[in-house]
Amino acid sequence: MAKRKKDKRERWGFRDSVTALLPLNENYDTMRSRGARTGYLFILPFVLGFLLFMLTPLIQSVWMSLNEVVLVPGQGYQLTWNNFQNYKYAMGVDPYFSQYLVEESGRMAINATATLVMAFVIAVILNQKFKGRTLARAIFFLPVILASGVLPGVENQLTFNMMQGVSDEIAAQSGVNISAALQNLLSISGIGSGVFDLLFQMIDAIYDIIMACGIQIIVFLSGLSAISPSLYEAADVEGCTAWEAFWKITFPMVSPLLLVNAIYTVIDFFMKNDNQVMEWINTQFTRTRYGESTAESWIYFGVALAFIGIASFIISRMVKQYDS
């Protein structure tokens, strides 16, 4: 009972977050409240920017999605309430939106999972001490620079053509099609067709996965570098194997960052320029179907929030919290 009361006192809720800003509160001078106020200072520029520049367009966007938008020459546009017809059109009439939404959601679930696993494995490797570690870290972070627009288009068409050319040359010289050979090997190994298809979806998307895991690697590295070496020394003294140390020390200590990376990965995927849903919404907008495209944007936003909520719910069950 005493332990339960102690846990309740140590729990940090919404009320504590608010009272941390009140000077007359008894917890105002605690370390946790000071840390909370420091965090508020860091997010203050975003909050102000959102209130000043994004809140009004956001409200206008919601209202536009609920109305029929008609362009009036010389007067801008006219809104007429249409009783959610834009949303009905998006989900029941548009022949492409629902199809693209389902396809991209499935692709996101596969790629996001593969990206998190790949980023974590690479981060564990790059956290080891070896010659050229700094160069290796820079190479794995290079896709982030390429994807940022500094070298627009280079990471897409040029690299794809190079990789395709290498694959074709190998097949021509050796007479062996690597992809076909790998498919035949797995097909006779007894692996189920569902796992087979899922595996090859990941193989086909390996380039996109590598390009998308730069930030996640950095986040995981920050967590791995914060683990005290004394924990591994104590585990080694107790006869703990490297595999046991990974699951008992490494993964639990880094697990809070897994949730951060999962949320970032889902958002990053939904915002990609090559996303079919994004391309279709932009196409609808250029056709002056402003109400329908806005409604589709909000549906897409809702699906993204749903995936973030599901990922947060699942991963939060694996997260281990440690008192500082």
User: What pLDDT sits at residue 197?
Assistant: 62
User: Which residues neighbour 293 within 8 Å (Cβ) at sequence distance 6 or greater?
Assistant: 281, 282, 284, 285
Tokens of 91: 């989900």
Helices and strands, number each (H, E), in the chain: 17, 2
User: What pLDDT sits at residue 301?
Assistant: 93
In tens digits, the chain (324 residues) has pLDDT values of 444 444 444 566 667 777 777 777 777 778 888 888 888 899 999 999 999 999 999 999 999 999 998 888 887 888 889 889 999 999 988 889 999 999 988 888 888 888 898 889 888 888 888 887 778 777 777 766 665 554 444 444 444 454 455 455 545 555 555 556 656 655 665 555 555 565 556 666 667 777 778 888 889 998 898 888 898 889 889 888 888 888 888 888 888 888 889 999 998 888 877 788 989 999 998 888 889 999 999 999 999 999 999 988 888 887 766 554
User: What pLDDT sits at residue 177?
Assistant: 56
Question: Could you tell me if 27 and 16 are in contact, meaning their C-beta atoms sit under 8 angstroms apart?
Answer: yes
Q: Nearest 5 degrees, angle CA 103-CA 106-CA 111?
A: 120
The pTM for the full model equals: 0.73
Q: Which domains does the chain have, with CATH numbers?
A: 17-54 (no CATH), 91-318 (1.10.3720.10)
* 3 state DSSP class of 289: coil
Rounded to whole angstroms, how far apart are CA atoms 220 and 1?
37
**DSSP code per residue over 185-200:** HHHTTT--HHHHHHHH
User: What pLDDT sits at residue 302?
Assistant: 93
Please give the helix or strand (H or E) that residue 185 lies within, else none.
helix 178-187
User: What pLDDT sits at residue 9?
Assistant: 47
User: Which residues neighbour 199 within 8 Å (Cβ) at sequence distance 6 or greater?
Assistant: 186, 191
Rounded to whole angstroms, how far apart are CA atoms 64 and 70?
11
Burial class (CB in 10 A: 0-12, 13-18, 19+), 240: middle
